[in-house]
Each structure stands twice: as structure tokens, then as C-alpha cells.
Structure 1
């Protein structure tokens, strides 16, 4: 029993060491890394939260802190254009997809870089998500036409191209360097 336990610990140590990428795992904060923030608003201009993009080793970490949102499950995505014109926020374009993938983490040809987990909002109107997108860069996020963070009315099915059947856009914010 003791030998089996030691063997398992040794294998786990070797496995973890294999994940080391020059001393910094994907997602580790980068000293003096770039950050961008998007203040989310409804079509009526109400403040409903904040999305943050932070440069980390090997990608970008996206977080969302939502408030005063309708309870339920909502699709949440980074969109290609840094515009949030009310009432429908269609000026934000499609999902951020610099690699040309299909939509959704459950799609064998996906996901878009802008595909994030569903936002679950409680009865208090609050919800949070966080996810690191490996390979994403701040240069692509903050390109000439920028990018936006959008929350949708319905849950994302995480598979249907191009938007996961996530419904209308109910909140939007443009990423700005912080």
C-alpha cells in the first residue's frame, strides 16, 4: 500500500513538472501585464457590472462581476468590435474569433476565443465568471476597432454556431485600457 501511494505521488509530481512552461503556468499573473476594463450597461444606460481582461502567462484572464441583472443563466461573450450602441448592441459585431473557430466549448471545431462560460445570476441580481483564454493577446483584444463584452438574455448552449442560441444582447461594455 505504501509503495503504491509513493508511486502515485511520484507520478503526480512528474505530471505537474511536465506542465511547467519555463517556470510560469498559463494563467499566472504577468508582472506589469496589461489590463482592460469594460463597464457594462443596459440599453437604458443602467450600470450592471464590470468585465476585466488581464494579461496572464500564455493568454488573457477574463472576469465578469455582474450586478442588477435579471436572475437566470445568460450567455457571456467577448465581441469583435468595441461599440455598444443601444438598443440592441449589434454594433459590437460577432464573437471575438481571431482563429476562425466555430462557436462553443462543446463544439468539436470550437470554441471562439470570445466564448466564455454561462453567467449564472442569482435572485439578488449578482453573478460572476472567470476564465483564462490560452493564446489570446491584448494586442488582438485592443486592436484598431477594439472589442466589447456582451451579456445575452438566454443561456448559451455552448455548441450552436455562431452564437449558441443565447438570445438578445441585454448588456454591453467596451474594453478600454486600464
Structure 2
């Protein structure tokens, strides 16, 4: 009887340890997804000099974009969006398609109300023509629902007015970078 009790106790302890291990693995998998990052290099469109390097990282219910964009007109403001196709091959980056919009929303201000998933607040260049980027784009992910992998990031010539349809009247595309599909 004593041996049976010891075996049952040992089995219960083993089951408890396996359960704790599975919970830790789930936490590790979740934190691994939360820390996933990808790099994007922005290249100028034809006749432009705008370029930059960005890092995209999973951040809660969105994606944090950090980095720097150079070659902008000093003190200027520029539309900044995630576009639907990871293709910057056209000289004017028209190959990137329209704004990423998986929910078929109207274009709008990402800070308030309905908007495309790819709408991001405008970039603002400093006196030297550089813009430091640090923004969280809510409602998109790296590898999950509303996945941005395989899309493109585009910088526009003019500021986004957040109202004009379908894309904010932000003018020509002056830089484009592909978000790698393989992350």
C-alpha cells in the first residue's frame, strides 16, 4: 500500500511539473511573437533622394515602427503609410498598390476614428531634412491577423490630410521599402 501511495504521489508531481512546463512554453511562445522584428530599407523613387532604415517590432495589439528617414525637405511633413503590396519596383513605387486596408475602411486619421490599417501619422522632418520615426500602428501584426509581412512602407511628398478619399491627398511616392515576407 505504501508503494502504491508513493507511485501515485510521484505521478501527481510529474503531472504538475509537465503542466508548469507547458505553461512556461506557452509564455515563451507568446513572448517570442511579441518580440518579433523585421528590418525595412527605404529607397528613393526615381529622381528623389529620400532613404531610410526602419525596424518593425510586434508591440501589444500593433506594430512599433522605429528608425530614421533622411533626404527630406527641412521642416517638411510627409504622408507615411503601409501599402498593400511588397513591390517597390516601379520607378514611382506605384507597384506597391494602395494603402493596406484589410477591413475595407475609409481613409482617415490613425489617431481618431475609422482609418485604413496602413494609415500612419505623418512624418515631420527636422531642420536637417531627417525624420526620427517611433510610432505604434494599431490593428496590424507581424505574422498574425492583419499581417504586414510582404507589404511595403511608403513615404509621400506631401502631408496626409487624413480626410481626402481614398488616400489622404499626400502626393507622389518619394521612398518605398518592402517589408520582407519571410520576416
TM-score by length of 1: 0.73
TM-score (norm 2): 0.71
Superposition pairs of residues 1-178 of structure 1, within 5 angstroms: 31-32=31-32, 33-44=35-46, 48-71=51-74, 72-105=76-109, 110-139=114-143, 140-142=147-149, 146-176=150-180
Residue 135 of structure 1: how far off its partner (Å): 2.7
**C-alpha separation in 2, matches of 1:122 and 1:150:** 19
Rg larger for: 2
**Hey, which of these two has a bigger chunk of helix by percent?**
2
> Any gaps of 5 or more consecutive residues in structure 2?
1-29
Give CA deviations for 1:109-163 in whole Å, capped at 9, x if unaligned: 6211111111111231211232222331212111xxx101100000100121211
Shift of 1:43: 2.1
Give, in angstroms, the shift of residue 60 of structure 1. 1.2
Aligned to 2:162, the other structure's residue is in SS state coil
Distance 1:129 1:135, change over 3 A: same
Deviations along 1:15-62, whole A, 9 cap, x unmatched?
xxxxxxxxxxxxxxx733211221011124857112222111222112
Q: How many residues align?
A: 146
CA distance in 2, matches of 1:76, 1:52: 15
- Name structure 1 gaps, 5 residues minimum: 1-29
Describe the superposition over 1:49-96 as per-residue Cα deviations: whole angstroms up to 9, x where unpaired. Answer: 122221112221123411122231110001110010241100001111
Instruction: Output the aligned Cα RMSD.
Output: 2.3
